[in-house]
A and B are shown apart, each in its own frame.
Chain A
């Protein structure tokens, strides 16, 4: 930008360097129950069905919320027609059954619900998921589980490339194969690939763990194999059994991939910190 040499001259970064985070103390006298205070009160045994035929995504999402307002804890969606951006932003305990396929950005921003999709799903399915269980019975597109932070996201079939890109927590399970750059920039969480993994697995991962049951085409930058521990095996067997994906020959053959941590730069000072301490 002409005439401006640093961001400080633009009036930015003028705050003093002090505390890193919001600091809060638990006050147990104010503790809550099992659900967010703003969550809808639903009953798993109260079931409703809706037909998505001929409806746009906003209308479908609005109807899901109206059914939740009526106390329905189990909602069946028929004829989803592979529409994009539906079943999103639900911060509630719920059971949702989708009879068919979803398009791009399905089941994004979920925090709590248990969802089952009987068909296939498109790109960026389960993006930014916070909690819950989502199961896809067939195949999924690329960037499956992008930036997921928590919960279990399962695809029984195969998925495209960049599965779990920028994963920050939670567990992604793929019953089949996964494409190139799976686990790209992974920061935390666990990923289980029962089949084969494409090229550059775990490229630039900072942390987290990837377990692969099949062949690995090749590893990405700073992704390194590590010995499978007994706790890894116990966790793998338990998790895969939960979703009926445990191989007949068990889990001993899985390869564990972790970050080599050569890309960690926590020990390099930020420019503002250098000014402060040097």
Chain B
């Protein structure tokens, strides 16, 4: 993420992982692909940038802040912007036609909004699992 770094690689450009695929560390060079989960997972959200959809979600849930969404950030997988969905243990890619904001905080808010919409969709894989395995 812009302004942060890991393993001695300083990340100054918000598009770093889109432009170069993020192949920075020795292991990434050897295996030829970016390791998608190596971001600054500790970046705290900027509540000034919260979207109207997220405000509605927090009100619906009865929460005073982003709660579990504080841990959701926009990551990058195979050179594409993506969000990690813990419910399917996989990356969900942002469609190419989606215009990304120029800063990480706004990107994170969009990632949170998209993830909620995806998880609550009847097409989410968890819905099938729930039908198959729910006990009560």
Contact = CB atoms under 8 A, between A and B. Distances in A.
B26 A93 contact: no
A12 interface: no
Given A32-B122, A269-B30, A26 B67 contact: no
Interface in A161-189: 169-171, 188-189
Contacts of B62: 44, 93, 95, 114
B86 A273 contact: no
Main secondary structure of the interface of A (DSSP, over half): mixed
Interface in B26-56: 26-27, 30-31, 33, 35-36, 38, 41-42, 44, 47, 56
A7 interface: no
Contact of A34 (B7, B57, B89): B57
B65 to A, nearest CB: 7
B77 A231 contact: no
Interface stretch (A98-106, A129-137, A196-204, A212-220): A129-137
Interface string A33-60: 1111110000010000000000000000
A150 B70 CA distance: 8
Contacts of B1: none
A149 B118 CA distance: 19
A22 B88 contact: yes
Contacts, number: 153
Interface residues of A, number: 59
Interface in A125-173: 130-133, 149-152, 169-171
Nearest to B136: A65
A24 B92 contact: yes
B27 A36 contact: no
A1 interface: no
Contact of B30 (A36, A170, A277): A277
Contacts of A33: 120
Contacts of A36: 119-120, 126-127, 130
Interface in B101-136: 114, 116-127, 130-131, 134, 136
B42 A207 contact: yes
B86 to A, nearest CB: 6
B114 A24 contact: no
Contacts of B117: 26, 28, 31-32
B60 A35 contact: yes
B70 A171 contact: yes
Nearest to B68: A150
A134 B80 CA distance: 36
Interface of B: 6-7, 25-27, 30-31, 33, 35-36, 38, 41-42, 44, 47, 56-57, 60-65, 67-68, 70-71, 77, 85-86, 88-95, 98, 114, 116-127, 130-131, 134, 136
15 contacts: A21-B90, A23-B77, A25-B92, A26-B98, A31-B118, A32-B119, A61-B136, A131-B67, A170-B68, A188-B71, A207-B42, A208-B42, A266-B35, A269-B31, A273-B31
